[in-house]
């Protein structure tokens, strides 16, 4: 019997999605004789039955393209804005799945997607996921696709900022993405020879950063590059967040939990743009002219690196094999040099941060990079 497979991409886009769709689609169709259908704009397409047949023509010529031919969104199956109202679309999704006689659904996405995919698996759908995000923060996989390209873009930006920082004898603060994890910041910071790297995993003291910069000035180095992960925070802010997380996790009533969650959300909303304040503070503390560059969505755009094309293709083709073996409820994960099928339930809801004893942090410290602690 021909297997009928649905595919969607969800969450923030990243380079390599098309390579993964192509790898999966080609092998599923040509090797296993499956029929492959794409759903548009993440879980929304599944809820509203927006489809595209992934035939040979659609799968051809997309390997090197950035973004996703399927479109994406941050919509959640159980809380989707439809006609101005937030609705639970799980039943509509299940109905679409059965209307198309799907045998399985492949969800390519980051942390949020893994959680949503698990919800659908628990609602009875056969689901397999792939780990995609420039943040590299998905549990149980050593790598996610999109990360390598973003790392390359961020590193090139830091290289370019070096010459202008030197010419003007300035401090240049560079904010990189990464959500609540510092993989992109630490890797790009080391590759680009940053003088200071600030990560969510290591709360900083702005005085210590200023001292590190003053020491550089005293030794004759009249410029500094400070790479900051968007999720990095001061020691005071980190204590505040930790307190709120404790209240949320220990809350004995729903209203108390909601209140703590609300405060946490407000904190994170207000934290966007924190590097503006940090840049000003460094200028005041050191007396040295400072500038800020926020790399933003540049890091997610454009053609995937060779490494991401290879990795995403491997994941896609291996996913087709898992579907052929009817192995569901799993995410494909890189562990060492092999791809493993790990239970979705063990991935969803967890984030993988940079361990404090990770070789990236240790080697950064050894070459004299300050981490603000």
Catalytic residue flag (residue 135): yes
Are the CB atoms for 102 and 2 separated by under 8 Å?
no
Distance CA 135, CA 147 (A): 6
DSSP result, 165-217: HHHHT-EEEEEE--TT--HHHHHHHHHTT-SEEEBTTB-B-HHHHHHHHHHHH
Smallest gap, in angstroms, from Cβ of residue 298 to ligand F6P? 11
Q: Which pair of structure tokens corresponds to residue 93?
A: 């999704």
> Nearer to ligand F6P by C-beta: 14 or 24?
14
> Nearer to ligand F6P by C-beta: 275 or 286?
275
Are the CB atoms for 162 and 189 separated by under 8 Å?
no
Interface residue with ligand F6P among 127, 134, 138, 319 (CB under 6 A) is: 134
Smallest gap, in angstroms, from Cβ of residue 300 to ligand F6P? 5
Site for ligand F6P in 12-31 (CB under 6 A): 12
Interface residue with ligand F6P among 103, 135, 148, 318 (CB under 6 A) is: 135
Smallest gap, in angstroms, from Cβ of residue 146 to ligand F6P? 8
Site for ligand F6P in 154-193 (CB under 6 A): 177-179
103, 135, 148, 195: the active-site residue? 135
Within the chain, residue ranges assigned H as helices are: 17-26, 43-47, 56-59, 90-99, 111-122, 147-168, 183-191, 206-218, 235-250, 254-271, 274-286, 306-324, 344-347, 359-366
Within 13 Å, how many C-alpha atoms sit on residue 124's CB side? 7
Distance CA 284, CA 10 (A): 42
Regarding 300 and contact with ligand F6P (CB under 6 A), the answer is yes
Regarding 113 and contact with ligand F6P (CB under 6 A), the answer is no
Smallest gap, in angstroms, from Cβ of residue 60 to ligand F6P? 28
Regarding 132 and contact with ligand F6P (CB under 6 A), the answer is no
> Nearer to ligand F6P by C-beta: 75 or 103?
75
Smallest gap, in angstroms, from Cβ of residue 242 to ligand F6P? 20
CB-nearest residue to ligand F6P:
177
Distance CA 23, CA 63 (A): 9
Site for ligand F6P in 196-225 (CB under 6 A): none
SS3 364: helix
- Residues assigned a catalytic role: 135
Residues lying near ligand F6P in the complex (CB under 6 A) are found at 12, 74, 110, 133-135, 177-179, 230, 300
């Amino acid at each position: 019997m021909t297997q009928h497979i649905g595919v969607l991409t969800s969450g923030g886009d990243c380079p390599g999605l098309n390579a993964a769709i192509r790898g999966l689609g080609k092998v599923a169709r040509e090797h296993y004789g499956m029929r492959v259908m794409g759903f548009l704009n993440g879980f929304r397409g599944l809820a509203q039955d927006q489809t595209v047949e992934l035939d040979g023509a659609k799968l051809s010529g997309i390997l090197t393209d950035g973004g996703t031919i399927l479109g994406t969104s941050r919509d959640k199956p159980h809380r989707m804005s439809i006609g101005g109202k937030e609705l639970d679309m799980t039943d509509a999704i299940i109905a679409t799945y059965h209307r198309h006689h799907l045998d399985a659904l492949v969800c390519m996405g980051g942390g949020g997607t893994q959680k949503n995919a698990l919800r659908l698996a628990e609602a009875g759908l056969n689901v397999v996921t792939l780990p995609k995000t420039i943040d590299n923060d998905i549990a149980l996989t050593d790598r996610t696709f999109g990360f390598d390209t973003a790392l390359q873009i961020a590193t090139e930006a830091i290289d370019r900022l070096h010459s202008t920082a030197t010419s003007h004898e300035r401090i240049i603060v560079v904010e990189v993405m990464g959500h609540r994890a510092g993989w992109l910041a630490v890797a790009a910071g080391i590759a680009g020879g940053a003088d200071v790297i600030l990560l969510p995993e290591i709360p900083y003291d702005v005085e210590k950063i200023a001292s590190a910069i003053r020491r550089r000035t005293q030794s004759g180095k009249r410029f500094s590059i400070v790479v900051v992960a968007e999720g990095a925070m001061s020691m005071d802010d980190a204590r505040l967040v930790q307190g709120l997380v404790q209240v949320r996790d220990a809350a004995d009533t729903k209203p108390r939990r909601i209140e703590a969650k609300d405060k946490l959300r407000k904190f994170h909303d207000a934290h966007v743009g924190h590097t503006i304040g940090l840049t000003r503070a460094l200028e005041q503390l050191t007396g040295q002219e400072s500038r800020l560059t926020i790399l933003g969505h540049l890091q997610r755009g454009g053609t995937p690196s060779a490494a991401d094309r290879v990795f995403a293709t491997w994941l896609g083709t291996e996913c087709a094999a898992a579907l052929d073996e009817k192995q569901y409820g799993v995410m494909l994960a890189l562990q060492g040099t092999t791809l493993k099928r790990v239970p979705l339930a063990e991935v969803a809801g967890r984030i993988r941060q940079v361990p404090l004893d990770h070789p990236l942090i240790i080697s950064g410290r050894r070459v004299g990079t300050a981490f603000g602690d």
